[in-house]
Structure 1
Amino acid sequence: MSDKNNSTYGNPVLATLNGIVDLFRHKEPIGEIRDSDRLDGLTCLVTGANSGLGKAIAIDFARRGGHVIMACRSGIPEAGEEVKQASGSDKVDMVKLDLSDIQAIRACCATLKQQGVRLDRVVLNAGLVPQKPLKTKQGFEMMFGVHALGNRVFVQQLLHDGSIANSSFAESPNAEPGKIPRIVFVSSETHRSGTPIELDSLGQPVEYSAMGSIAQYGHSKLVMTNYAMELSRRLNPGNTVEVAVHALCPGPINSNIAREAPKAFKPILKAVMGLMFASPEKAARPAIYLSSSPDVEGQTGLYVHLMVKKDAAAQALDPQLGRAVWTRMQTLIDAHSH
């Protein structure tokens, strides 16, 4: 399938450079973030919220009056105390979540269910770029396992348990206007440079160099974005949006996502990121907008790069491929469910 937005497939360097250039291009923003866009009375879960982008999102949500649940692999409870201090809110809790382990994901969901948590906003931010090939506990390629499969298991379990407010999966009544839950995936423009999705090899460990890790990162984000769009279609089959699902690219971020980069590259990365990349607070704007703005109430399936609405890559939007990937991922999950 051809798509002018897919011209960077297989070229992660070009995709990354395009992302940096986009920082300086003037495009009409999808909307604006207002101080009046509040989250009072809403429960908001953010994954990977112990540092960087996720922490910035958590702080903003708490400032807007939301009850924030920081789902993290580490940083408990120190990061939670820092978010409380920075936001001036004590409505901040933490829960342990390791997206690289299916059983750990289900344990996290079980904790939330036991506590009676009902989520109004879920921001799937957690991510990583290992310097060498790694496997999840169940043997999947690590970035695929965290960004695609891990998020799939997490969201699916939350829906099944009724932990997402007004979830039709839990036979809840239709969402009231202004109270439609929203699920927001933090993707990346590198999903356009990721190797195309091949069902037979989906999730299998792959070998790559330190530089080649970006290509695999893009592939994992492509699968994740494909899943997000299919999830949107499945949760909202009619004309009524019951659970909004969106995806975004925050642009290059001056954060610790490259914490596992080779030591030789770290000084260069630190200098470049400090000069060219946005702070986590600025990069958080698309996630904040899609989570809090009333302007997108009743919409679903949006993809936002920086603050500009655009189409995701063709493979991410393809409904037929979306159904096939959904089925294949379920098969992989079922094989490790016992």
Structure 2
Amino acid sequence: MAWSAADVPTQNGRVAVVTGANSGLGLETAKVLAARGATVVLACRDPKRAAAAAGVVGKQGGTAELLALDLASLDSVRAAAAELRERFDRVDLLFNNAGVMFPAYGKTADGFELQLGTNHLGHFAFTGLVLDRLLEVPGSRVVVVASLVHRFARGGMNFDDLQSERRYSRIGAYGQSKLANLLFVYELQRRLAAAEARTVAVAAHPGCSSTELTRHLPAWMQRASRVLVEPLLAQPAEQGALPSLRAATDAQAQGGQYYGPRGFQQTRGAPQLVRSTPVSYDTAAQQRLWTVSQELTGVGFPV
């Protein structure tokens, strides 16, 4: 039988942090967790939209808390992590969900290419700064949301031009950032397992889901997507959130696994175990990216 939101067990007494929870996949994830009784921390960049989302999430039955977090600024990441640690002595679930997709070339406040800096480096730093709050909780999980577009990084991480300063492609840079998400989660799980931690790291992707991520595309590409892609392949955001929810709450899920839709080319359908591309399982690349990420962010990990 297909796994659905109805299969999410009770989350009473649990604390879940969801980055980018003001809309799309993050909001749908937060709504389900709140409906199961969790305290859900909406870690968002835009305070007005976050407050509106909190109103929606709060109606589901759980508790919605707000946390200001701009993943494109390490100062904001450090401040958010410090505030989270002050307000909560435990975190059961961390969803690294927020992201940007296909913007024109730009840089974060710290000079990183915008997509890599937001989608990977910001989450890497935030995870490292709050991980000890999860390590104290049996059954806690870090869920990293990747993407089908990681397949575009067929040659692996371009460590020679990590910040896309020599050549920039909107799709190529996004694919690199999503491959980085997978390299990160697999290396994190290896370290957690070596430390015999009670926390595991799991990956997920939403397939082709209707969200606001396409807002950075040129207008003609947005129109083409709405006319040609979404009617054939896209699924609603609430369906796209299911792989992340399964990765976080299914009792059978294990560290280092990857969940995605089971339908055509993993674009839509109920969540199931899937495989990422061979380059994502390259342990040397995982370890190299980890080292580079620590150097760029200045953030270490307790494992």
The bucket for the TM-score relative to the shorter chain is: 0.7 to 0.9
Distance 1:182 1:332, change over 3 A: same
User: Which gives a bigger RCO, structure 1 or 2 (Cα 8 Å, sep 6+)?
Assistant: 1
Distance 1:205 1:95, change over 3 A: farther
Equivalence map 1:84-95=2 (5 Å): 84-85=58-59, 87=60, 89-95=61-67
Q: Corresponding residue for 2:259?
A: 304
Equivalence map 1:291-330=2 (5 Å): 291-296=248-253, 299-306=254-261, 307-330=271-294
Structure 1 residue 80 and structure 2 residue 54: aligned?
A: yes
Maintained 8 Å contact 1:72/1:98: yes
Maintained 8 Å contact 1:232/1:245: yes
Equivalence map 1:242-253=2 (5 Å): 242-253=198-209
- Please tell me whether Structure 1 or Structure 2 has the larger radius of gyration of its CA atoms: 1
Paired with 2:173 and 2:158, the residues of 1 have a C-alpha distance of 13
Secondary structure at the aligned position of 2:109 is classed as coil
Paired with 2:237 and 2:193, the residues of 1 have a C-alpha distance of 31
- The TM-score, its normalising length taken from structure 1, stands at 0.79
Q: Corresponding residue for 1:277?
A: 234
Distance 1:204 1:102, change over 3 A: farther
Give the percent of matched residue pairs that are identical in Structure 1 and Structure 2: 28
Q: Quick one: which of 209, 234, 237 aligns to 2:194? A: 237
Paired with 2:124 and 2:43, the residues of 1 have a C-alpha distance of 15
Structure 1 residue 123: Cα displacement: 0.8
The number of residues matched between the two structures is: 286
Maintained 8 Å contact 1:37/1:294: no
Q: Corresponding residue for 1:24?
A: none
- The TM-score, its normalising length taken from structure 2, stands at 0.88
Structure 1 residue 63: Cα displacement: 0.6
Secondary structure at the aligned position of 1:163 is classed as helix
Higher helix share: 2
Q: Corresponding residue for 2:84?
A: 112
Deviations 1:279-337 (A, max 9, x none): 011111111111122222xx2000112123122222221222211111111111239xx
Distance 1:90 1:248, change over 3 A: closer
What CA RMSD, in Å, does the superposition of the two structures yield over aligned residues? 2.1
Maintained 8 Å contact 2:156/2:280: no
Distance 1:254 1:32, change over 3 A: closer
Secondary structure at the aligned position of 2:22 is classed as coil
Maintained 8 Å contact 1:199/1:328: no
Gaps of 5+ in 2: 262-270
Paired with 1:248 and 1:107, the residues of 2 have a C-alpha distance of 27
